[in-house]
Amino acid sequence: MTVYDIVLLPANTKKEGDRVDYLDKMKEAKADFLSHLTYNKGYSKNTSYVYSSDLNIWSRWLSDREKDWREVRYTDVEHFIGWMMRDNGVKAHIANRRVSCLSSFYKWANHQGIIDHDPVHLAEKPKIPSRIPVYLEKEEQQKLRTALTDHDNIPKSIFGKKSKYLIKVRQRYEMLFELIQNSGLRISEALKLKVLDIYIVDGMAKTVRTVGKGDKERVVPIPEKFGARFGVWLNGREKGEYIFAMKDGGQPPTQNAARKMLKKMIEKAGLDKHITPHKLRHTYATRLLEAGAELIDIQALLGHSDISTTQIYAHVNQERLAGVVAKL
């Protein structure tokens, strides 16, 4: 071993030790941050999972470049954004979501005294192109309703009869999708509803109470026409039962199962649109706007914390008018 080797060996060992240290510190900080989101901020498991995934991507990017997460600057964040969008084809809204996650994480870490600066604040964020929200027209809503209530398209058993179980499944999803279109609930909010969350008067469902993002509670009125049918469907249910339980006293279906069923019914309805449960929420907001609701009212009903999120619906009527004028 040369003198040169003797000099370098402790330095390399120290560098590797430092790397292990900051990776371990990142894991610890991430775990504490996610606990903070879940137990202090009231974030759902799904939201916390997304935050965890985004932080893992950031951590791997830093590790590949041997950067300490506690010492990065805004230029590193901008390089990360460039890497996502330029090298990996990540869309602007996804890149922005990940940067927003980093911002929340570093603000929390700064507040906890783990770091002494916020590297995300000064970073230039990608611009998201303005897009008109996708929603169902009234006639398309009717086509979806027809497909959901048409039991002839339910497969028959080997004995040539309609399965009572499959009919109940269809009715459950019919009510789920109708509820979203008549209340604007998020799919996560709708699936966790219990009978006691519905205010019923003389057999008619009047309002739905939900706890949304950030553990914020809101009460949404239900239109009379749907409220009457919804009240009948809920009749005789136990107060503590999940409304959309797959069996008595059981759990509701997963969000993924609901999305798959909606996609199937959209196809049966013959609609050439990519419609998700969230697009049904867009549909509700669009109907409100057409009925003359103000943006601040729509914000309250949808449970948006920021009016800027609601402003995407201000373009809906403009787009419709442009289409009408184009036909002149």
Span 3-19, pLDDT tens digits: 334 333 344 444 555 55
The answer for 254, left when phi > 0, alpha when psi is -120 to 50, beta otherwise, is beta
Amino acid identity at 194: K
Span 157-171, pLDDT tens digits: 655 556 788 889 999
Q: Are 190 and 244 in contact (CB under 8 A)?
A: yes
Q: What is the pLDDT of residue 42?
A: 80
Q: What is the pLDDT of residue 19?
A: 57
End-to-end CA distance of the chain: 88
pLDDT averaged over 10-residue windows placed end to end, the chain, 328 residues: 38 49 84 92 84 95 92 95 94 91 94 92 82 86 94 69 81 96 94 95 94 83 94 92 92 95 95 93 89 83 74 62 54
What is the Cα–Cα distance from 165 to 296, expressed in whole angstroms?
42
Q: What is the pLDDT of residue 7?
A: 38
Q: Domains, the chain, ranges and CATH?
A: 3-111 (1.10.150), 138-326 (1.10.443.10)
Amino acid identity at 177: F
DSSP assignments along 292-307, one per residue? T--HHHHHHHHT-SSH
Q: What is the pLDDT of residue 1?
A: 40
